[in-house]
Amino acid sequence: MTTGLVWDERFAWHDAGLASTHPWAEPYPALDRPEAKRRLWSLLQASGFTDRLVPIKARPASEEELCRFHTPDYVARIRRLSETGGGEAGENARFGPNGFAVASLAAGACIEGAEAVLSGRIDNAYALVRPCGHHAEADRGRGFCLFANVVLAIEHARAVHGVRRIAVVDWDVHHGNGTEAAFYADSGVLTISLHQDRYYPADTGGIEAIGTGAGRGFNINLPLPPGSGHGAYLAAFERVVVPAVSAFHPEFIVIACGYDAAASDPLGRMLCTSETFRAMTGYVREAASHFGAPILVCQEGGYSPTYAPFCGLAVIEELAGQRSGVDDPLVGWYAVLGGQDLQPHQKAVIELAAERLRVAA
Ligand SMILES: [Zn+2]
């Protein structure tokens, strides 16, 4: 397999501001900091694995590309705030000076990743970007996200390449509410989100949200209980994700890839290891191979600077079908944690989602 990688040092320059402006909260930087993603890039470099990847150059998304999903007013507002030192794009989505430039570069990087795989230049691509995108809505940013990178990559695939059937697999620990909203009434995009139950946003991501109108049956939420680990995620893929993606016959698959379901993440309350992320990537790669569907992986969250790099390396190794020779120094600690096996209350949720799939079919 030939695998492309997009990274630009400016992604590390995005400033997510303070975690809270509460008068009694001593100022503290937001948990979306550059280190986790920059250290993944560093690990790829240090291990020499970048030599086996095809570099893809990021470029800013154009106004027209941003407005394929976002409202012109919202795009203009972010640009204006950015020119005057930064501000708040919405709920928990602060940015600093030049935030517009970095966020449009992240969106453009995902579009370029889509372009590289859909033009047949490479088999699959990993867009290692900041800020993330899956919470962003048409007219506001949310949850560290300014522009909806995945949605914009998909709209590029449709507008430029005429791709009709696209599947999104979002394993970030938070619900992919922005991606869901973009395609909720759309049967051309199957959106699947596995996330921690009622975490963020707390009022979206329920199993009952299955799409509306023509999109009914094309949105799948799998709200997993806190504490879910390797066994639960693999069961979710075997019972729900793979059958749903396979039945959809996608021409293109996008993974919204967060590492905040990893055991040591400061935000998520899950137990995944690098081997979980490797296995999930393998399931998607295997499903994609049946349809000749290229895969684009877009970086979402993941806030452990020490562990996210090893999770990312595992995903990229699996995409490329090669090993770097680098061992994950922490997987032994996390793999033996109590609760890594599928638990009955986790199985109940997965079975409910699988049952809904059977009914829909
Ligand atoms: Zn997240």
User: Ligand 1 mean position to 353 CA, how many Å?
Assistant: 21
User: Ligand 1 mean position to 146 CA, how many Å?
Assistant: 14
Instruction: Tell whether pTM > 0.85.
Output: yes
Q: Is 135 a catalytic residue?
A: yes
Give a three-class secondary structure readout of the chain: CCEEEECCHHHHHCCCCECCCCCCCCCCECCCCCHHHHHHHHHHHHCCHHHHCEEECCCCCCHHHHCCCCCHHHHHHHHHHHHCCCEECEECCEECCCHHHHHHHHHHHHHHHHHHHHCCCCCEEEECCCCCCCCCECCEEECCECCCHHHHHHHHHHHHHCCCCEEEEECCCCCCHHHHHHCCCCCCEEEEEEEECCCCCCCCCCCCCCCCHHHCCCEEEEEECCCCCHHHHHHHHHHHHHHHHHHHCCCEEEEEECCCCECCCCCCCCCECHHHHHHHHHHHHHHHHHHCCCEEEEECCCCCCCCHHHHHHHHHHHHHCCCCCCCCCCHHHHHCCCCCCCCHHHHHHHHHHHHHHHHHC
User: Ligand 1 mean position to 120 CA, how many Å?
Assistant: 30
Amino acid 82: pLDDT: 97
User: Ligand 1 mean position to 324 CA, how many Å?
Assistant: 26
Amino acid 359: pLDDT: 81
User: Ligand 1 mean position to 153 CA, how many Å?
Assistant: 19
User: Ligand 1 mean position to 156 CA, how many Å?
Assistant: 24
Indicate which residue of 14, 70, 134, 135 is catalytic: 135
Amino acid 1: pLDDT: 85
Q: Which domains occur in the chain, in start order? A: 3-360 (3.40.800.20)
User: Ligand 1 mean position to 197 CA, how many Å?
Assistant: 12
Q: Provide the residue-wise pLDDT of the chain in tens; the chain has 361 residues.
A: 899 999 999 999 999 999 888 999 999 999 999 999 999 999 999 999 999 999 999 999 999 999 999 999 999 999 999 999 999 999 999 999 999 999 999 999 999 999 999 999 999 999 999 999 999 999 999 999 999 999 999 999 999 999 999 999 999 999 999 999 999 999 999 999 999 999 999 999 999 999 999 999 999 999 999 999 999 999 999 999 999 999 999 999 999 999 999 999 999 999 999 999 999 999 999 999 999 999 999 999 999 999 999 999 999 999 999 999 999 999 999 999 999 999 999 999 999 999 998 887 7
Amino acid 202: pLDDT: 97
